Amino acid sequence: MLVITDLVKQYRTGTRALSGVNLKVNEPQVVAIIGSSGAGKSTLIRCINRLVEPTSGKIILNDLDVTALPRHGLRSARRRMGMIFQEYNLVERLTVMENALSGRLGYVSFWRAYWRKYPPGDVAMAYELLDRVGLKGYENTRADELSGGQRQRVGIARALMQRPELLLVDEPTASLDPKTSRQIMRLLCELAHEKGTPALVNIHDVGLAQTFADRIIGLAGGKVAFDGTPDKLTPAVLTEIYGEEDWSKTIGEVKGRETQAHKKDQESLKRESAAG
């Protein structure tokens, strides 16, 4: 599905953000990318959709050699990848429905989009997705009236409107409170699995990554320092990724908190559904 070989990015300033990243995603799984601030997480994601031009290396998405694409081929390539951002990137004065439909912009003609004449199939798909992300009844609400969590739900729906082959997600919960962060991560991972779409999710919260991702990649110094399932993330590995710190305590705390929080989530879900 996604094969990245020897990816290097050196910025004009001389900073080498990625120095030979190798990574393969062969199945529709959620891959969390963790690492300190400045480890190169955003650069990696942005190289994949060529918002950042790689210095060298190769990126293949299914049948598409992303790195070999000329500039004019980028639009059609980018619609195959759904992006979800920390700051949501919604159009504030447009409605939830219009924001969701804008995920189809890569597909409909300029004039159709300008006159907001989306094909009925697209509109039906948007209603269905908005319902699925928990925004039924909010279709005509303006984006600027939404809470952060609701905005990110729109962001997720908009990305899925593209029917992407890959989801690229950069710190989706960094602007959200802990409870909302969990709900958004859970929703994102559930939907990736439901749609069979692989997802790369940059996330600095190790606990969230461990709880929800199928696989974790640790970046350190622009290289892959760890690649494995969440249960393999030991204190020694965390030290390699983040540096010296008493991780045994952190992991224990995180696990305990996660279990408790999970119980609470389940209880409140039951209450919500009992209340109709």
Ligand X SMILES: Nc1ncnc2c1ncn2[C@@H]1O[C@H](COP(=O)(O)OP(=O)(O)O)[C@@H](O)[C@H]1O
Site residues (vs ligand X, CB under 6 A):
11, 13, 15, 17, 35, 37-43
Q: Which does 26 bind (CB under 5 to 8 A by kind): Mg ion, ligand X, none?
A: none
Q: Name the DSSP class of 16.
A: E
Q: Which residue type occupies 261?
A: A
Q: Which does 54 bind (CB under 5 to 8 A by kind): Mg ion, ligand X, none?
A: none
Number of residues that bind Mg ion (CB under 5 A): 2
Contact yes or no for 44/33 (Cβ under 8 A): yes
Shortest distance, position 223 Cβ to ligand X, whole Å: 12
Question: In this complex, which beta carbon is closest to ligand X, that of residue 19 or of residue 180?
Answer: 19
Reading the block at residue 112, the tokens are: 């159709």
**Sign of CA pseudo-dihedral 230, 213, 263, 253:** positive
CA distance 253 to 276: 34
The entry of Mg ion, ligand X, none that residue 154 binds, CB within 5 to 8 Å by partner kind: none
* Helical (H) or strand (E) element with 81: strand 81-84
CB atoms within 10 A of CB 203: 24
Measured CA to CA, the distance from residue 142 to residue 67 in angstroms comes to: 38
* CB-closest chain residue to Mg ion: 42
Q: Which is nearer to Mg ion, 42 or 102 (CB)?
A: 42
Least distance to ligand X, CB of residue 70, Å? 22
Least distance in Å: CB of 245 to ligand X?
18
Binding span for Mg ion by CB under 5 A among 40-48, 88-96, 149-157, 248-256? 40-48
**What span, in angstroms and rounded, lies between the C-alpha atoms of 210 and 187?**
15
Cβ nearer to Mg ion, comparing 41 with 215: 41
Closest CA to 254 of 199, 212, 191: 212
Integer angstrom CA distances of residue 44 from 85, 124, 159, 181, 222: 14, 34, 19, 22, 9
Selected from 17, 42, 81, 98, the binder of Mg ion by CB under 5 A is: 42
Give min distance, CB of 47 to Mg ion, in A: 13
> Residue 15 or residue 147: which is nearer to ligand X going by CB?
15
- Can you count the helices (H) and strands (E) in the chain? 10, 10
43 contributes a contact to Mg ion by CB under 5 A: no
The reply on whether position 211 binds Mg ion by CB under 5 A is no
Judge residue 79's burial from the number of C-beta atoms within 10 Å of its C-beta, 0-12 exposed, 13-18 middle, 19 or more buried.
middle
Stretch that binds Mg ion, among 15-23, 39-47, 78-86, 209-217 (CB under 5 A): 39-47
Least distance from ligand X to the Cβ atom of residue 51, Å: 10
Give the tokens for residue 10.
């050196």
Whose Cβ is closer to Mg ion: residue 42's or residue 99's? 42
Q: Is 197 in the site for Mg ion (CB under 5 A)?
A: no
**Interacting residues with Mg ion (CB under 5 A):** 41-42
